[in-house]
A = this chain, B = another copy of it.
Amino acid sequence: MTDVSVRQRVLADNEAAAAQVRARFHAQGTLVVNLISSPGAGKTTLLEATIARLAHRLRMGAIEGDIATERDAARLRRLGVPAHQVLTGGACHLDARQIQQALQASPMSGLDVLFIENVGNLICPTAYDLGEDFKVVVLSVTEGDDKPFKYPGIFSRAEVAVISKMDLLPHVNFGFEEVRTQIETLRPGVRILPLSAVRGDGMGEWGELLETRLQAKRAAAAAPAR
């Protein structure tokens, strides 16, 4: 079997598992968000801030993907939300089968929003559907303003692009409008959210986005099939 056909089979198996995850959370009315970024762009910090602001309104949970360590799940569990850590060993992304296995251990039932925090990597997670409603790419201003065109795969697939660490903007050389142009070129209609999880900028818009998407999902599920 060639490398290409192995990869095609792996992706086909993944699609089947992703469809099962999607059906499960469609039935439960849970919004599923797949967060993708480089290491250290601030995914876990964004989730901590999201939980702190919205835990009184939304029931949230998380599946955390990492090569090694339980640190991220531990950070979220400290805030009182269910969080399950998946250790991928050497693998550079989560796949839908791993999500199914995580759900056997931690069912994540009765949630409004399930966050899946992918392994820190802008490349490998791109092709793997995890059964999410949408992908969010997180790019921090410290990473430089050339990144969307250097990593076009993820920026063309993510419906939402969070530009994180906006509090550090005065200290770095980052052309926000240049980045906006690149992202909108790769994905017309994308929602771009500048945000500082530590200072709070943009957290209101982020919360509204989650609540709007959750309501839309439940409304669509409740509508009579035609």
In the complex, identify which listed stretch (A55-63, A100-108, A117-125) lies at the interface while the others stay far away: A117-125
A143 to B147, CA, bound (A): 16
Contact with B along A181-204 (1 / 0, CB 8 A): 000000000000000000000000
Number of copies of this protein chain within its complex:
2
A71 at the interface (CB under 8 A from B): yes
Q: In A114-155, which residues have CB < 8 Å from any B CB?
A: 119-124, 126-127, 140, 142-144, 146-147, 149-153
With a cutoff of 8 Å between Cβ atoms, the chain B residues found around residue A6 in the complex are 1, 3, 6
Q: In the bound complex, do residue A124 and residue B92 qualify as a contact, i.e. CB atoms below 8 Å apart? A: yes
Asked if A215 is at the interface of the complex by the 8 Å CB criterion, the answer is no
Tell me, yes or no, whether A39 is within 8 Å of chain B by CB: yes
A84 in contact (CB, < 8 A)? no
Instruction: Judge if A16 is at the interface, Cβ distance under 8 Å.
Output: no
Given contacts A40-B144, A92-B92, contact A67 B124 (CB under 8 A): no
Instruction: Indicate if A165 sits at the interface (CB-CB under 8 A).
Output: yes
Q: Range of interface residues on chain A?
A: 35 or more
Contact of A40 among B3, B68, B124, B142 (CB under 8 A): B142
Give the distance to chain B from A45, nearest Cβ to Cβ, in Å. Answer: 8
Q: A151 to chain B: which residues have CB within 8 Å?
A: 39, 67-68, 120
Q: How far is the CB of A155 from chain B (nearest CB, A)?
A: 10
Query: Residues on A close to B: CB < 8 A?
Result: 1, 3, 6, 10, 38-40, 66-69, 71, 90, 92, 119-124, 126-127, 140, 142-144, 146-147, 149-153, 165, 167-168, 171-172
Seed contacts A90-B123, A168-B171; 7 additional CB < 8 Å A-B pairs: A39-B150, A40-B144, A40-B147, A68-B152, A69-B149, A90-B126, A142-B168
